[in-house]
Amino acid sequence: MDLINGNEIAQEIIEELKIEVSAIQGGKPCVVFIRVGEDPASVSYVSKKEKTAEKIGIESRLQLYPNSISQDELLEEISLANNNNEVHGILVQAPLPDHIDERTIFNHVSPSKDVDGFNAFNLGKLCQEQEDAFISCTPAGIIELIKRKNITTEGKHVVVLGRSLIVGKPAGMLFLRKGFPGNATVTFCHSRTPDLENHTRRADIIIAAIGKPQFVTKEMVKEGATIIDVGINRIEDSNKKSGFRLVGDVDFEQVAPQTKFITPVPGGVGPMTVAMLMKNTVQAFKGNHS
């Protein structure tokens, strides 16, 4: 079993970006973070993104709004950032309150500033295999881990658990692309898939992105499979000062010994999401300045 150290690989990317940003003459990449409400996970994710941007030399502007903001008001705030030449990237942290339609919001971000890769234009470009698509940061992070660990994907069977717009769907599309990492056969499974084990047991690579703590057990995984665990779930733990600990969608203790590669939680995919956001922001800056 080879543990994929996401912290270490994310740090490599951050160091590469620091060098790239320090060589920029005239201007500086700038990203706007839009957060609505006080969801504790969103507060923590956005704060991590701000700190990482600062380390690299990327300017970040945090815009906070109350849960009561209307959809039209939020669209107007995005228009202002779209039209501001000093801003190269825009990120609207999900989830948004129920009265706001996330797709409408994501599609309003200018495609050239869509560093999250959530809008229909960039998702379409991903399907068309266009090189300059902004790719959603978590799936982009997964692919970067696969690339840097040189894990073979060609001819392999990838099973994606989860069909979200943010992770499941784009992750599957990336493994399907021509080239490396790609050329895989991809199966999407979700909450309505009967006999899930039947699929996962035939997988060479499992992408677990269903948001259910320790859902993937050893009976579901074949010997020598690679497991990418995207889940970040809080479970109660009275031994911890905070009263909880973080676990993935995979029962790590049980499953790890029979895998070829596995990502831990925390310290696997999570830090890669942040690193890839920074990479997308630098790409957005360069796109505007080339």
- Alpha-helical (H) ranges within the chain are 6-22, 40-56, 71-83, 102-108, 120-127, 137-148, 168-176, 196-200, 252-255, 269-289
What does the alpha-carbon distance between residue 231 and residue 214 come to, in Å, rounded to a whole number? 9
Our answer to whether residue 178 is catalytic in this structure is no
Catalytic option among 114, 116, 249, 251: 116
Annotated active-site residue 116? The verdict is: yes
Q: Which is nearer to ligand GUN, 133 or 225 (CB)?
A: 133
All residues at 6 or more sequence positions from 174 whose CB lies less than 8 Å from its CB, including other chains: 126, 135, 139, 140, 142, 143, 181, 182
Q: Which parts of 84-103 interact with ligand GUN (CB under 6 A)?
A: 91-94
Minimal distance in Å, beta carbon 138 to ligand GUN?
5
User: Is residue 218 annotated as part of the catalytic site, yes or no?
Assistant: no
Amino acid present at 125 = K
- Binding-residue total with ligand GUN (CB under 6 A): 9
Instruction: Assess 166 for contact with ligand GUN (CB under 6 A).
Output: yes
276 near ligand GUN, judged by CB under 6 A? no
Q: Interface residues for ligand GUN in 100-159 (CB under 6 A)?
A: 116, 137-138
Q: Which is nearer to ligand GUN, 4 or 166 (CB)?
A: 166
- Least distance to ligand GUN, CB of residue 119, Å: 11
**Running DSSP on this structure, what letter comes out for residue 113?**
G
The answer to whether residues 75 and 106 touch, using CB atoms and an 8 Å cutoff, is: no
Closest approach of ligand GUN to the CB of residue 134, in Å: 12
- Could you tell me the sign of the dihedral formed by the alpha carbons of 165, 8, 220, 205, in that order? positive
Interaction site with ligand GUN (CB under 6 A): 91-94, 116, 137-138, 166, 273
